[in-house]
Structure 1
Amino acid sequence: MKKLLLGFSLVLSLAHSVCAEESPEWPVPENPALVHPGRYLTRSMALITESSPQQRNTVRVLFYGQSITAQWSWPVQEYLKRSYPDVDFVFAHRAIGGFGAEYLVRTAPTDINSFYPDLMIFHDYTRVPEPYEAIIRQALENTTTDILLTNDHPTLPAQLEDEETQMQSKRFARILQHNRVFLPDLCERYQIEFADILSPWKQYLHRNQIEPQALLRDVVHLNDWGIFVMRHLIQDYLQYQPDFADPSVWNEKVKTYKLGQDLAWQGDRLELEFEGNKIDLVAGINEGNTSGIEIYIDGRKPSELLGTTAFTRASAYPGTWWPAVLRVSSETPPVVEDWSLRIFDYNEELTDFKFEVTGSVTGADGIGSSGERFVSKSGRVVIEPEDWSKLARARSMTKEAPPEDFRITWKAVAHCADLFQAPAVSDYVSETLVVAAQGFEPGKHTLTLVARDSDSAESLAAIRIYNPSLPEME
């Protein structure tokens, strides 16, 4: 097991050594079966391809999944940066090695919702349909992201055989059903981009007369050559398809209201009825010394709404990169602070224990036990029993007891602003965005802005509303 942990560390180090440059030793893979690649990435790829030196777009890209995603995500990031230098990219690498979908479904609300991507690139080896679909569904219900989902690369020589032959094996039939049926169907139902890696990977192996192991570092992780192949196959899908672009659909999901064009101040007030769960305020040209604009949603300050202050991922169990507790949520709005959870009275296997939580602002907030749902005295911390499900596994893998005074930490961070004070802006080349509120309950709301003076009112150029929605399904 320690070797496996060391493998995780190796993957992390490899992730930072970008090895996606062209090499005369490695033929570039081809994918002749591509049909309209990027058809479900039209909003994010339009933002990317239409960005220019005169008007740079900000695009948030999230890589999610397991350790293999952590390997190839960095070369894909470098490809995007190199290919589109006029984009203001914001990247997040939040893959967790050894986490199947049954665990990622617990961490996803923290990892995906808080980042609120424009594009999410996702792969997970778990072949359990329910949590896999739940991750996709919750991402689309809570953000306006485009999603690119890949299937698996082959790792065994038997996977190069005729697929009818493979179907005679229970093991390989399950793999094929996942890659050939479940994932394509999932992508079509939710209208997300399906990147078929399995087919061109097999063609690449046949064409170059090599075995799957030639592209692998161990039984599944990629070596430099494998990362090179994976990066090329994924980038083939990162294309803009204008024939499938429908701006009217984008405007329902992400709509920008320009001051003086779509909206106007009524004295010192501006009201906008909207539907969604995120508001960005776009700063106009100003010197950055205004008194500010007060922000209210349904008559309340954004910081008073549940969800606008959110938790970061909890710290990892020592010796792993697994969050010690999968998810921490709230019943009442958190405040910005640091949290600490101390485990005590635990058994050797770390399957049964007690814990106490303390906030740097809230103070001591209650004692709980691993087998029961915990709601802190303030209601700011909620932990479900299933969110301890990886802790004993981490203890078993490391074969080491937790350190004395073992503490798990996380932060409550604000994704909101009660007062908009525009940063100084001298041109419109890059947008200057301030998140007014993010993560509150989706639905119909009323935004009210109150300018403290005329200069403050003039410092606001636009309001952008994000409204997540699932595609209509039959």
Structure 2
Amino acid sequence: MNPGLALVAVLAAALLTADADAGAKPTPPQGAPGYQAPTRPTDGAHMALTIEKLEKGFDPERPLLIWAIGSSFTNGLGDGSTLVELLKPRFPNMPKVVYKRFAGNSTPYHLTRGWARHLVIPEQPDAVILYNFGKVDDLEQLIVDLRQGTTADILVGTIHWCLPHEKQWPDPDLPCSHQDIPKLRAVCEKHGVELVENRREMTEYMLASKLGIKDLLADAVHENAYASLMTNMNIARHFHRPAKFSYDPRSRERRIEAASPDAKLTGNWEKGDGSVTAKDKGAAIEVAFTGTRIDLIGWRSPDGGSAEVWLDGKPAAEAPVFSCGYIKPDPKNAPLPPNPPRDRSPHRLTLGANIVPQSWTLTMTNDTGDYELVGDVTGYDGTGNNRKPFTSKSGQITIEPEFWRQPESNKAGDKWTFDVTRTTVGKVDFKGEKGKFRLTLAWGLANGPHTLKLVAEGNGSVGLAAFEVFEPPMK
């Protein structure tokens, strides 16, 4: 959604289509039989929107977006191609799939809350995979962040066996150094999250095949290739139409047809084929909706014109709704192997008051944690220390030390940049090659009632098919 998120491609995002080649499959260890993960009646109960999209696709076409964030455990799942290959037989007509991942070294749930805020939520994914470790309270906060900011279905996986878990073997439900699984299970049930019982399912196979923990590891803690395949299979089985879904997809995402009574037309509009078209200046269409995001489904044409966007009675171009992109470390920041600059950085910040869209640079001024913040519009906006709470002089930026990883490793001259952008569109251009298009007009709104109005500028045809509304399940 945010143009600044293009940098994600450079930062280990993997773009895949349903035609991606997953490569040769690894073989079971110790001559064990091949692992099987057939679907069960309850698999996919919390995946209603994702399953609907995989079965029916999108109009107009767009990819289905899956995000995965976490640690090297997340990275061990691969680039997404294995998962995509496993979905193909189940959904032969599925749309293209885009799988993006962002993982750090030993990055727990707590720190990935920053990546959820600055990378995942701005892209408004369809599904989010959390295969990681950390405190259950932090996982719950991460789930709440995603539930408040997106309509994405969430999958949480229990972790595979590692050598530090030998005292717990072979009971998959005992708390271990990476997860408190009974508490994790309760949090997933509380929030309607799709729980992947990976550890329990792997244990059954390991015991039946007389395998030990080491047989499915590449080192002390990371899965080998076959274990990674097993985990992907356990995740894939939840992309499934169950006997009953836990929620109604329309409670989170719904469509308002432009030609329906739910859309209020003023001025001269022509109706036809489920669409409405206006050419006169001042012709307007208005819809009321509840949610955080609204998309336009429209028609472009060579004689297309433009329309102004109004939100809650004011120009959308002036709406006080903003997002902060990824806090990008300078690759020249002081080295401290094995952690790259990505892992020795502020992972999250919070926007405050008096926001002005702009690019920001945070620069360390000494080796003891002091820094200064400068915006390319605001200019110098204060100094802080990476071990203390900070609010900029203008009140626009708040930095929380609990989300700054390894602050003691930063040196004078280290720097980070991030962009703050408005999350609304002020004008829609309908001129172009003939065809249907989708455009997000606003996202990141307060999760409540809103009104949106488009007003034709009288410089060409304005063709509208529908609006799509997104209402996250948590306020």
The answer to whether 1:153 aligns with 2:157 is no
The answer to whether 1:22 aligns with 2:16 is no
The answer to whether 1:391 aligns with 2:407 is yes
Inter-partner Cα distance in structure 1 for 2:259 and 2:13: 50
Cα shift at 1:437: 1.0
The answer to whether 1:298 aligns with 2:312 is yes
Preserved CA contact (<8 Å) 1:302 1:308: no
List per-residue Cα deviations over 1:235-272 (Å, max 9, x = no partner).
111112364276xx322211111111342521212222
Inter-partner Cα distance in structure 1 for 2:398 and 2:250: 36
User: 1:136 maps to which residue?
Assistant: 143
Inter-partner Cα distance in structure 2 for 1:176 and 1:343: 33
Preserved CA contact (<8 Å) 2:359 2:418: yes
Paired letter, 1:256: R
The answer to whether 1:408 aligns with 2:416 is yes
User: 1:451 maps to which residue?
Assistant: 456
Name the SS for the 1:186 alignment partner. Answer: helix
Inter-partner Cα distance in structure 2 for 1:18 and 1:270: 45
Paired letter, 1:278: R
User: 1:41 maps to which residue?
Assistant: 47
Residue from 366, 374, 381 that aligns with 1:345: 366
Inter-partner Cα distance in structure 2 for 1:440 and 1:33: 37
Paired letter, 1:373: P
Inter-partner Cα distance in structure 2 for 1:154 and 1:435: 42
The worse-fitting range, judged by mean Cα deviation, of 216-225 and 236-245 is: 236-245
Indicate the structure with greater helix content.
1
The answer to whether 1:219 aligns with 2:224 is no
The answer to whether 1:185 aligns with 2:186 is yes
Shift in CA distance, 280/419, structure 1 to aligned 2, threshold 3 Å: same
Shift in CA distance, 407/175, structure 1 to aligned 2, threshold 3 Å: closer
Cα shift at 1:136: 0.7
Paired letter, 1:253: R
Preserved CA contact (<8 Å) 2:63 2:95: yes
Cα shift at 1:275: 1.3
Inter-partner Cα distance in structure 2 for 1:194 and 1:427: 40
Paired letter, 2:284: R
Shift in CA distance, 258/15, structure 1 to aligned 2, threshold 3 Å: closer
List per-residue Cα deviations over 1:6-48 (Å, max 9, x = no partner).
xxxxxx7999998664345565322479442111101111101
Paired letter, 2:180: H
Inter-partner Cα distance in structure 2 for 1:438 and 1:191: 23
Residue from 415, 439, 443 that aligns with 1:438: 443
Cα shift at 1:177: 8.1
Preserved CA contact (<8 Å) 1:97 1:321: no
Name the SS for the 1:102 alignment partner. Answer: helix
Preserved CA contact (<8 Å) 1:215 1:225: yes
List per-residue Cα deviations over 1:155-209 (Å, max 9, x = no partner).
238367453xx99xxxx55569822x21222121111111100122112223333
Shift in CA distance, 89/288, structure 1 to aligned 2, threshold 3 Å: farther
Paired positions, count: 431
Paired letter, 1:314: K
User: 1:256 maps to which residue?
Assistant: 255
Shift in CA distance, 414/425, structure 1 to aligned 2, threshold 3 Å: farther
The answer to whether 1:93 aligns with 2:94 is no
Shift in CA distance, 363/194, structure 1 to aligned 2, threshold 3 Å: same
Matches within 5 A, 1:33-432: 34-51=40-57, 56=61, 58-74=63-79, 75-79=81-85, 82=88, 86-126=94-134, 128-156=135-163, 158=166, 161-163=169-171, 173-174=175-176, 178-179=180-181, 181-241=182-242, 243-244=244-245, 249-261=248-260, 262-267=262-267, 268-284=283-299, 286-287=300-301, 290-315=304-329, 318=335, 319-322=340-343, 324-332=345-353, 334-347=355-368, 353-392=369-408, 395=409, 402=411, 405-422=413-430, 424=432, 426-427=434-435, 432=437
Inter-partner Cα distance in structure 1 for 2:467 and 2:366: 52
Task: Name stretches of at least 5 consecutive residues in structure 1 with no aligned partner.
Answer: 1-11, 348-352, 396-400
Paired letter, 2:47: L
Inter-partner Cα distance in structure 1 for 2:86 and 2:263: 35
Preserved CA contact (<8 Å) 1:293 1:456: no
Preserved CA contact (<8 Å) 1:324 1:388: yes
List per-residue Cα deviations over 1:383-438 (Å, max 9, x = no partner).
1232334323xx2xxxxx63x5221112224433111113635455xxx3211111
Inter-partner Cα distance in structure 2 for 1:327 and 1:177: 23
Inter-partner Cα distance in structure 2 for 1:463 and 1:13: 29
Shift in CA distance, 73/273, structure 1 to aligned 2, threshold 3 Å: farther
- The percentage of counterpart residues that share the same residue type is 20
Inter-partner Cα distance in structure 2 for 1:241 and 1:205: 27
Inter-partner Cα distance in structure 1 for 2:341 and 2:376: 26
Name the SS for the 2:446 alignment partner. Answer: strand
Inter-partner Cα distance in structure 2 for 1:303 and 1:355: 33
The answer to whether 1:466 aligns with 2:448 is no
Shift in CA distance, 260/242, structure 1 to aligned 2, threshold 3 Å: farther
Cα shift at 1:452: 1.1
| TM-score, L = length of structure 2 | 0.80
Inter-partner Cα distance in structure 2 for 1:160 and 1:196: 16
Preserved CA contact (<8 Å) 2:110 2:142: no
Preserved CA contact (<8 Å) 1:122 1:149: yes
Preserved CA contact (<8 Å) 2:133 2:178: no
List per-residue Cα deviations over 1:53-86 (Å, max 9, x = no partner).
x974542211122211122152445426755564
